[in-house]
Amino acid sequence: MIDHLDRSILRYLKEDGRMTATALAAKVGLTVAPCHRRLRDLEASGVIRGYRADIDPAAVGLGFEAIVFVTLRQVDRATMEIFENRVADNANIVEAQRLFGSPDYLLKVIAEDLPAYQRFYDAELSSLPGVERLTSTLVMKNLKPNTGPPV
């Protein structure tokens, strides 16, 4: 169970994951040693899953986004496992969720532009195992990026 100090640590790290333990300790009102210990405990318990750079896809030439709804022909363990492994291994699929009901999956795909997405759709998405139907919705504007859970 996390307390108010842990939540405070998490809020500051969500804003700046590169914050030093010293700066973090000052922000949450602890000395460095107990702050560092709490930080290690949050990491060890899996509350903090990791640290990564937040890269703007458009800045690296991948400014086109599509949301793809996937319906599988057959929803059995073997088909889902193969499908999910292929999705997880594909760098252009940047988010994926398995859904209750129909469709079976929601994928967020990035590409350079519409022609690149069309090539990706034809070569990669349509060849995923078990796919019965793919429905794409193009993203016009990102209003709120995934910022993680509220803490």
State pLDDT tens for residues 37-96: 999 999 999 999 999 888 999 999 999 999 999 999 988 999 999 999 999 999 999 999
pLDDT digits (tens, 9 = 90+) for 120-146: 999 999 999 999 999 999 999 989 888
Q: CA 97, 10, 26: angle at the middle one, nearest 5?
A: 160
pLDDT in the model for residue 68: 98
| Amino acid identity, position 125 | L
pTM for this predicted structure: 0.85
Please give the average per-residue pLDDT across 99-125, as a whole number: 97
pLDDT band at 148; cut points 50, 70, 90: confident
pLDDT for 63 equals 95
CA distances 104 to 65, 73, 92, 97, Å, are: 20, 10, 19, 9
Report the C-alpha gap between 133 and 44 in whole angstroms: 41
Pairwise CA distance, residues 129 & 10, whole Å? 39
Q: Cα torsion at 9, 11, 17, 21 (round to 10°)?
A: -20
Contact residues for 134 (Cβ-Cβ < 8 A; gap 6+): 68, 69, 70, 71, 121, 125, 126
Count the alpha carbons within 13 Å of 64 in the hemisphere toward its beta carbon. 16
